[in-house]
Chains A and B, each alone.
Chain A
Amino acid sequence: MRGKSVSLDSVSMRFGDFTAVQPTTLTIQAGEFFSILGPSGCGKTTLLRMISGFMSPTGGTIRIGDADVTALGPNRRPTALIFQNLALFPLMPVWENVAFGLEVRGVSRRDRREKAEELLALVALDGQGDKLPTALSGGQRQRVAIARALAVEPAVLLLDEPLSALDLKLRQHMRTELKEIQRKTGVTFLYITHDQGEALTMSDRVAVMRSGVVEQVGRGDDIYDNPATSFVASFVGESNRLTGTVDSISGGFATVSTRFGTLTARSGPGLAAGDKTIVFIRPERTRLQDTPDGAGLALRGTFLRRDLEGPFINLFFDCQGTPFSAHITNDSRHAAETGTDHWLRIAPEDALALPAGALARDE
């Protein structure tokens, strides 16, 4: 099996007056594990359904490999979709589910059975072929759906939040497994999720979407360390935020006036002197000190409470009305007391100033 690339050229989708997907241009490389990440309702499923052929875009063209597939129906595209609810056929045993794509292509029963067993082995379901899908557990059903999609040897596998119905443990286990299957088969995976953890752990590249617009495409590190917009910065990972105005920019660093004083931060794309800005500081890059010494701005914060996350501890402070948090590794040494004051230092390379814009809503 070999994956193919997917190219979107100004692909858009309108429902009446409402535009679910703004004109989007995007190329997914052959054999890539590509994720589209965004809050629910941002148009991810719509985009996926256009690629799989269940919806015709109201504008633009879609190519898979070298072929323009914009006008083809779903049964004539080299894609296979894993549905959000899996959509296993309840009346057919597992192996018939897996072999369905071969059956409709006229493959003989013997060959189908053989191929189904092979695929079931690939997804670690050996010998479960004669059960009905309802007799399997959630994770097993998940793998049946994947085997069924892989049976038709698709060039592109489209997955619509396939793990959302599973419990946490299984979800984390399936991440590794999906990645492994993708590596083994070489099929292009286009993976849709609203869960940043999934997107960051599995993907070669991630696209972050908001309200029908792809705001940023990049490797996970890139997205996390250098978010292009305030939305991406607030949606991916946690962050502390300070608002201010840009005084000047030089050498990739911006000088920003905030109500806590002047602060230096890396300058994000599209920022100019005089702009309103939001400065993002990751909690784990916030330096907790007893004194304000060191480069960068130090804020004085009153300790409120701590949340134990296991490997690290999440500490919450109040800086004159602005909430601020810091993550520290759990080395069982830290013991702050509620009401005591501390210094939170923001080093210039740990802060990122971005043009003030939309933020992800906290859920």
Chain B
Amino acid sequence: MVTDDMTIVFGGNAGQGIRSTGLGFIKAIARSGLFPFGRQDYRSRIRGGHNFFEIRVARKQVYSHTEGIDLLVAITEDTVTEHLDEIVEGGGVIYDDDLDVDAEEMEEKGVKPYPVPLEQIAMEEGGAKIMANTAAIGAIIGLTGFDISYIEGIIEENFAVKGDEVVKNNLDVANAGVEYVNSHGYSSNYDLEPIPESGERMVINGNQAFALGAVAGGCNFISAYPMTPSTSVLEWITKHSKELNIVTKQPESELAAVNMAIGASHVGARALVTTSGGGFSLMVEALGLSGMTETPLVIAEVSRPGPSTGLPTRTGQGDLMSIVHASQGDFPRIVLTPGTIQEAFQAGARSFNLAEKYQMPVITLSDQHLADSVRAVDPDVIDMEGAEIDRGEFLTEEELDALEEPYLRHKFTEGGVSPRAVPGHENAVYKTTGNEHTEKGDITEDPELRTKMMDKRAKKAKTALKKDIEPPVAEGPEDAEVSLVCWGSTYGAVKEALEKLEEEGVSANLCHLKDAWPLPADPVVDFLEGAEKTVIVEGNDSGEMKKLISQETGKVVDHEILKYDGRPFTPEYIVQKVEEVI
């Protein structure tokens, strides 16, 4: 029977090529027309320590990983110990027959042991032990009947730079893996059939999608300090900075990074800063500078669980409150909380427009789960040409030439946004200060002016809310028994939970806030009022979005499903908790 949905896990130590093997396999899966979801689980260390890469393969688009492992590839003994209990009955373990693992224990649990001399095959057919992972891929192919040509294509591409011999050796090793499994009479319950003519796919993770979105949105400056799990955005943009003509700077700290970006933005660059929670905390003072001086600023905060250094390589949604309220004094900011590849891409592109239109900080809050999880999407999702660039109220050279009255950088206007002039024009030479100021930019302590300036800045948020903040994504039947509210990466698991609930006879719908702040209160109220029983699902321990919703709408979500163990939600977990609630 053709397999609709299965999970394969590669496990080993950091540094054993688990991730690159997994990524290669994902590409092959995507090319065959099947839909992968890959999730990396790693520790805060460079070498050693159990790591795994989990790949779900399905016949339709998937948005989350799920519980249960069908095939486990164990490069180390620890992998078996760590995951044996997660393997479904009828599943199996591919392992090097040199490993000291208990095959009997597996069989008792209804799990099939598939010992394969992975290293030996690698040595004999390829001449190097590191090809053991390729042999394991061969074994998977043998067990699932997957068409090897897709893997061969990937091997040819991935190893081309290393020369024909390396390519040939890897191909031989992969084929020998298949051959070994077939000739030893190993069988499995799985059958991975390609879906022909399913069109091109793009294999991509959330950080890559955000980075591409930023480039499409005209980002031409990035200053950022490395911090897991945000670093790959900085690294990717830096790597391509020459061809993309982007100024990149890794300065001495997050404080330097954010202030450099504000400086660059002040003179007209579309400047980006990437970081994680700890780095964001250091940027808080500068956030206020951007707010007060009305300088556009784009920050991507890829969060990990705190407080403090927390769990550096894990996931969590504990930074929402901190971002919405960060820095002294009241000033508006926009917070985007994408939950899919498409939303991450769009957030990258939209941020710069929003920051320039409203002249305020715009923060995209994602997390390790969205950042590192790999999916295959329709290439149209990453529409590099389609992103519109809107610089907002930006005085052109001609408008400045024609300017007759003195230029007022912080001019009072109806929507609160003052036309912006980039420094360097004789008709618009102006001062900028983090002190309270007049329309012209001079320091003032006048109580009336102060009040008017505060109101002006606040008004921009209202304008943004009306014109640009997108309503939550709503899915599922309107008259559902239970209504789930979520935001950010949790959307994927919630979306899949709806289907599972339906299978179990529970009708559920969802409301996913992809734009979190200013909170789109009206549609949220509509959703909550129309719901029978409401449940918030979020990855923190205090129900941060739940609190923000109460604060902004006066509505209290009935129940909470919270998780703060550093691991992402699974649809199964949500289903189980929903069932407890109803």
The answer to whether A binds B is no
